[in-house]
Amino acid sequence: MFKINENYLKLPGSYLFSRIAGKVNAFQKENPEKSIIRLGIGDVTQPLAPAIISSLHAAVDEMADAKTFRGYAPDLGYEFLRNAIAKNDYAGRGCEIAADEIFVSDGAKCDSGNIQEIFSTDNKIAVCDPVYPVYVDTNVMAGRTGTYDPSAETWSDVIYMPCTDANDFAPELPGETPDIIYLCFPNNPTGSAITKAQLQEWVDYANKVGAVIIYDAAYEAYISEADVPHSIYECAGARTCAIELRSFSKNAGFTGVRLGFTVVPKDLKCGDISLHALWARRHGTKYNGAPYMIQRAGEAVYSPEGKEQLKKQVAYYMNNANVIYEGLKSAGYSVSGGVNAPYIWLKTPGSMTSWEFFDFLLERAGVVGTPGSGFGPSGEGYFRLTAFGSYENTVAAIKRIKTL
C-alpha cells in the first residue's frame, strides 16, 4: 500500500483563504439577497493595460505562423524578458544583477513555495509574525517546522519575529540564530515598509551568521517613500546572502495571467556549492517555462507605454488605500499601512478577536476582509483590508463600515 507524506498531515485546518471563501459562500447561500463587497484577497480588479494586451495579441499572431512559432521556453526564460528585467528593475537602481541570474516563472507564490527545496530539512527558518502563510506551510510540507501548538498557533522549530505597533511592524534581529530568513517588504499583510538602513542591518546580520534571506519584493511597485528600497540588492553585500522573489501579479495585474521571477546571484554559496546552480537544476528539471505569449506581455511592462499605464494603475489602487485608511481613521479605528503597499492593517474594535470581527463585518456590513490571526499569533486582534477592489466598491465598503 502506498504511503502519504506525513508532513502534509501536520498542516492544521484549511488554508486561510480557502476558509474565508467557505464562510463567505455559506453566508451568501443563506442570504442571497445581500450584496457582498470583497476586500479580503489581494486580487486585482483593473483590466490588463493596453500595452500588455497589444503585446499579447502580437505574440499570439506569431504563434500562428510556422516561421515564428515558439515551443518550450528556455530554462531561465527568454533573454528579451530577462534583459528587460535586469535593465529596469536592477541596473536602473544601481544593482549588479545579470540577466542569467534571473529565473522566469509563473509567479512568486510558486517560487516562494519551491525555493525551500534546495535547502536541507534541518535548517532553522525565521519568519515575520504576522506572516504570509505560504512561507510557513511550504516548510511544514518539507518537514522543517517541528510540532504544532494549536493553543499558540505556532510551530516548535520556527523562529517567529513579532511585528506589532510597538516596533512599527518591522522585525527585530532574532535572539536565536536562523539559517533561512523570510522577509517581505513592503509587507503583506501589514502594509509596513522598512528603510534601506534597516534592510542593510539584515543583510549584514545574514552575512555574519551565515544565513540566507529569502526576500519577497512582490509589492515594490507601490513604494512611495524615497528611503524605502525596491530591492534587497540595493544593500551592500546582498549578493552573498539573498534570494529575491518578484511578481507581475500586483504591479501589472497578472493574477490571471501568471508571471514572476526569482533572482539567485552567482555569489550566493554554501561553501563551494553554488545556490544558483542548484536552483537552475531544480528549475530545469521541474519546470518547462512560462508561455512565450506571457513573457512577451511581461516585456511590455517595461515599455514606455507600459510603464506609464501601470503607473496610473498603481495610483488607482493606492487611491483606494487612502480611501480605506482615511475612512477608517475618521471612524475611530487604529490603522496603519496604505502608504507603500495596497494593504490596510487595522486593530479590531473592543475585545473582538480577528475572526469575530470577520463575522461581524460580513453579517452586519456585507464586507469581507482577512482575519489577522490567519497570518500568525501576532496577527490576532488585527484585520487586513485590500485596496485591490474597484473604487466604487471601496467607497461603498467604507461607508458601510462607518455606519456600524
SS3 80: helix
What is the per-residue pLDDT for 17?
Answer: 87
Closest CA to 124 of 203, 183, 177, 184: 177
Q: SS3 sequence, 272-303?
A: CEEHHHHHHHHHHHHCCCCCHHHHHHHHHCCC
**pTM for this structure?**
0.96
* Residue 258 is labelled as binding a ligand: yes
187 annotated ligand binder: no
C-alpha 22/C-alpha 36 separation (Å) is 14
Give how far Cα 281 sits from Cα of 103, 163, 274, 286, Å.
Answer: 11, 36, 11, 9
Note the pLDDT of residue 262: 98
Beta bridge partners of 386: 343
Q: How do residues 49-90 score in pLDDT, each as one tens digit?
A: 999 999 999 999 999 999 999 999 999 999 999 999 999 999
Residues 6+ apart with CB under 8 A from 345: 169, 189, 190, 191, 192, 335, 336, 337, 372, 382, 383, 384
Cβ-contact 159, 124 below 8 angstroms: yes
353, with CB counted inside 10 A (0-12, 13-18, 19+), is middle
pLDDT recorded at residue 14: 75
Q: Is 108 annotated as a binding residue?
A: yes
**Which three cell numbers, joined as nine digits, stand for 293?**
505569449
Distance set, CA 211 to CA 94, 141, 243, 352 (Å): 24, 21, 11, 38
pLDDT of 250: 93
| H/E element, 149 | strand 148-149
Q: Which three cell numbers mark 148?
A: 504544532
User: According to the annotation, is 15 in a ligand binding site?
Assistant: yes
> Binding site annotation covers 248?
yes
Side-by-side strand order, sheet with 370-371? 335-337, 343-347, 382-386, 370-371
pLDDT score at 15: 80
Annotated ligand binding at 169? The verdict is no
Would you list the DSSP string of 319-330?
HHHHHHHHHHHH
Closest Cα to residue 295, out of 15, 31, 70?
70
Spell out the residues 6+ positions from residue 286 whose beta carbon is closer than 8 angstroms to its own: 114
Peptide bond into 130 cis (omega under 30): yes
Q: Give residue 13's pLDDT.
A: 79
CA–CA distance, 218 with 184 (Å, rounded to integer):
8
What grid cell was written down for 61? Answer: 499572431
288 assigned ligand-binding residue: yes
Residue ranges in the chain modelled with pLDDT below 70: none
Residue 253 marked as a ligand binder: no
